[in-house]
Amino acid sequence: VLSGCGVYDGTEIHEASAILVHLSRGGAEVQMYAPDVPQMHVIDHSKGQPAEAESRNVLVESARIARGKITSLAKLTTADHDAVIFPGGFGAAKNLSTFAVDGKDCKVNGEVERVLKDFHKAGKPIGLCCISPVLAAKVLSGAEVTVGHEEEEGGKWPYAGTAGAIKELGGKHCVKEVTISFPAHVDTKNKVVTTPAFMCETELHNIFDGIGAMVKNVLKLTGK
């Protein structure tokens, strides 16, 4: 499930690509979805500032990553899929929810909430990385997730405050590394698998490997 195209106002492209590579390597068939809604705002990524008076559609922008093969999130059903995965990027906190603005009092997009609840009820695994675990923390009360460390540690974990927000949302936060050993957290009860990804300032290959661990565990939980 994508949230646009670009880290500051949509899907983190490297994370989406890594997920797709690992799913392909795992032999999975993939369908991409995104909500057909306007973005919260548009960021000029060369300046890191909002592009005033410019608007974009989340589904249309996500189609860039999907190479055009994308469907409205309203059409995603559990019957057609064994698992669902949400990449990170600020789009998860801006377009899939209002977390970027409202924090613990955020609202989740209605279709996103439906998908999370439907997959959870069906006992099918849910994978999330980077900032997107806040979606599960908000919608699935008591879910165990990770966004990495709970202290900034000199800038290595610049978004460490998110861990506290997850607790306020009703989730349980588990400290994890990006890679090395056990870089993904598996909540076996709720079948929710999370990994920090770009919540950490580290080399790209570490993020790629951590996402690989998340995908591998999601596929394992499908039992196929």
Both tokens assigned to 44: 């000029």
- 146 in a domain, yes or no? yes
DSSP string covering 21-37? HHHHHTT----EEE--S
Pair type for strands 185-187 and 192-195: antiparallel
Domain boundaries, position 123: 13-222
CATH number at residue 116: 3.40.50.880
Query: Which of the following is catalytic: 5, 129, 130, 200?
Result: 130
The predicted-structure confidence for 156-185, as pLDDT tens digits, reads as follows: 999 999 999 999 999 999 999 887 766 899
Concerning whether 129 is annotated as a catalytic residue, the answer is no
Match 């009360």 to its residue by tokens.
141
Per-residue pLDDT of the chain (224 residues; tens, 9 = 90+): 999 999 999 999 999 999 999 999 999 999 999 999 999 999 999 999 999 989 999 999 999 999 999 999 999 999 999 999 999 999 999 999 999 999 999 999 999 999 999 999 999 999 999 999 999 999 999 999 999 999 999 999 999 999 999 999 999 999 998 877 668 999 999 999 999 999 999 999 999 999 999 999 999 999 98
- 6 in a domain, yes or no? no
Contacts of 161 (CB under 8 A, 6+ apart): none
- 88 in a domain, yes or no? yes
Distance, in Å, from the CA atom of 100 to the CA atom of 104, rounded to the nearest integer, reads 10
| pTM score above 0.95 | yes
Closest CA to 133 of 73, 87, 74: 87
- 3 in a domain, yes or no? no
User: Count of domains in the chain?
Assistant: 1
Both tokens assigned to 188: 């076996």
- 4 in a domain, yes or no? no
Half-sphere exposure of 126 (CA within 13 A, CB side): 32
Distance, in Å, from the CA atom of 22 to the CA atom of 3, rounded to the nearest integer, reads 20
- 139 in a domain, yes or no? yes
- 173 in a domain, yes or no? yes
The predicted-structure confidence for 69-87, as pLDDT tens digits, reads as follows: 999 999 999 999 999 999 9
- 126 in a domain, yes or no? yes
